[in-house]
Structure formats: C-alpha cells, structure tokens
Amino acid sequence: MSQVISITGSIATGKSTVSNMIKELGFTVIDADIAARVVVEPGQEAYKKIVETFGEEILQPTGEIDRKKLGNIVFNNEEKRLQLNSIVHPAVRKWMNDQKEAAFQRGEQVVFLDIPLLYESKLTHMTDKVIVVYVDEKTQLERLMKRNELSEEEAKARINSQMSIEEKIKLADAVIDNRGSLEETKQQLISILTEWKIK
Ligand SMILES: CC(C)(COP(=O)(O)OP(=O)(O)OC[C@H]1O[C@@H](n2cnc3c(N)ncnc32)[C@H](O)[C@@H]1O)[C@@H](O)C(=O)NCCC(=O)NCCS
Ligand SMILES: Nc1ncnc2c1ncn2[C@@H]1O[C@H](COP(=O)(O)OP(=O)(O)OP(=O)(O)O)[C@@H](O)[C@H]1O
C-alpha cells in the first residue's frame, strides 16, 4: 500500500539535512521550499499576483523576485505574510500533489514530503505519518543566524513566524533529535524507518 510521510520541524532545525539522508537511501522527497520557488518564477500566476500585491520594488533588475526583500517584509508583518501565503500555498500544494502522483505512477510505494509549515497550514490530512526534526531553540537560533548570515533580531523574527518546535514535537508520530552529530541523526532516521517497516 502506498504511503506518504512528512518531514517537518521549524526553521533551521534540520529538515533538509534529514531529507538529503532519505534521498541517499533512494526515496523520493518532495520539497515545499523548492515548490515555493518554482511556482513564483516569472510568468507564473503566483508571480503576477505577488507583483500586484507587493509592487515592483520587490523585483530584482532581472525581473525575478528579490527573496531577501520579500523576506524582510513578510517575516516582520503577519498580515503581509498571510497575504503571501494565500497566493503561494495553493500553487505549492498542487505542485507537490502532482509530483507525488508521478512518483506513485512510477511504482514507488513510499513518498516523503519536506514541508516546513505542515502544522501551521493544517496539512496533516495530506500525510500518513509525520517525523518532526528537533533541536532546542538556542541551537535553532545559532544555526539559523550562521546559515543565513542573519542578525539575532532577523533570525528571531523568522522563528517567531512559525509554531514553536516544542509544540510540534507533541504532535509528531516520531521525533529526530538533531542536536548531535549527523551520524546520530542518521541512526535515528534508520531506526524510525525500520520500526515502520519502510524499505
Ligand atoms: C519569504 C520568502 C521569499 C523568503 O525566501 P528565502 O529564500 O529567504 O527563504 P526560503 O524560501 O528558502 O525559506 C526558508 C525557510 O523559511 C521558512 N518560511 C518560508 N516561508 C514562510 C512563511 N510564509 N511562514 C513561516 N515560515 C516560512 C521555512 O522554514 C523555510 O524552510 C519565501 O520563503 C517565500 O516565498 N515564502 C512563502 C512561501 C512559503 O510559505 N514557503 C514555505 C514552504 S511552503
Ligand atoms: N546535526 C547537525 N550538526 C551541525 N549542524 C547541523 C546539523 N544538522 C543541520 N545542521 C546545519 O544547520 C543548518 C540548518 O539545517 P537545514 O538547512 O537542514 O534546516 P532546515 O530545517 O531544512 O531549514 P529551513 O527551514 O530553512 O528549510 C544548516 O546550516 C545545516 O548544515
């Protein structure tokens, strides 16, 4: 029987790191962050709506969306973030659904979704099981500031735009503690997949 498993967590807790491990094991992982880039390319319906809503000042000279500028707006203004979500999320869901169907058509039995806002967007109906990738909030802040070269204030604005990781672990079917080494993270992943008889 075909199964959909979601990888979620909060920003910079390690979803992509775990997703890469899952890909290395040979599974398809469909990434919502990639979907959210594809559906806002120039010419797409969501692109037009974003320019109408946020103005041409959020474009780069090439015509592409300036993600840093748009991020600075939406991570500091809830109303604008919800507006952006309402433009981008329906297209993201469609893109992910199409990719998932294609994987099942190819005969794959299990498909993984890497989906940061699974709980915030109430998408648990799309998935059979959920793995939450956890780090404590201090580690999350440090890794986010380092990876994105953000100030503490900028990083906290992003973290606060999501449900806290402590809330998410209460809702999970399984939790991977990603505070340790990558090898320890991989071992936890393999244990969960083994327990769920996924191969
Ligand atoms: C605001 C944007 C332009 C910033 O782009 P940027 O390249 O800096 O970040 P990127 O897209 O790689 O996202 C990084 C992380 O930020 C977090 N994040 C992104 N968008 C949101 C949001 N609307 N609400 C809360 N957290 C978000 C997620 O944890 C994500 O993994 C971009 O994130 C965006 O278009 N967001 C709206 C679409 C969305 O919700 N994407 C998340 C998955 S559907
Ligand atoms: N176990 C680990 N030890 C040290 N650093 C790690 C570990 N896991 C992930 N990182 C680093 O932490 C940062 C965040 O990880 P990652 O990009 O996988 O998070 P994410 O949850 O996918 O983030 P986003 O929500 O922005 O998509 C990256 O720079 C990554 O290299």
| Structure-token pair, residue 95 | 């893109």
Q: Is 85 in the pocket of ligand 1 (CB under 6 A)?
A: yes
What confidence tens digit (pLDDT) does each residue in 172-188 have? 999 999 999 999 999 99
Q: In the chain, what percentage of residues exceed pLDDT 70?
A: 100
Average pLDDT over residues 5-20: 98
**Helix count and strand count (H, E) for the chain:** 9, 5
Whose C-alpha lies nearest to ligand 2, atom 15?
A: 14
In ligand 1, which atom is closest to the CA atom of 148? 8
Distance of CA 137 to the CA centre of its chain: 17
ipTM: 0.96
What confidence tens digit (pLDDT) does each residue in 14-56 have? 999 999 999 999 999 999 999 999 999 999 999 999 999 999 9
Averaged pLDDT score across all residues of the chain: 97
Distance of CA 49 to the CA centre of its chain: 22
130 SS3 class? strand
* First and final C-alpha spacing in the chain: 13
Counting ligands in written order, the one closest to the CA of 160 is: 1
| Structure-token pair, residue 88 | 């981008």
Q: What is the 3-state secondary structure (H, E, C) of 138-185?
A: HHHHHHHHHHHCCCHHHHHHHHHCCCCHHHHHHHCCEEEECCCCHHHH
In this prediction, residue 3 carries a pLDDT of 97
Q: Is 92 in the pocket of ligand 1 (CB under 6 A)?
A: yes
Q: Write the single-letter amino acid at 192.
A: I
Look at the domain 3-195 and name its fold.
Rossmann fold (3.40.50)
In this prediction, residue 34 carries a pLDDT of 98
Average pLDDT over residues 68-92: 96
Question: Is the pLDDT at 1 greater than 80, yes or no?
Answer: no
Distances (CA, A) of 61 to 58, 64, 164, 180: 10, 7, 36, 42
Domain boundaries, the chain: 3-195
Distance of CA 124 to the CA centre of its chain: 14
Give the DSSP H or E segment for 199. none
Task: Answer yes or no: pTM beyond 0.90.
Answer: yes
CA 74 to ligand 1 center in whole angstroms: 9
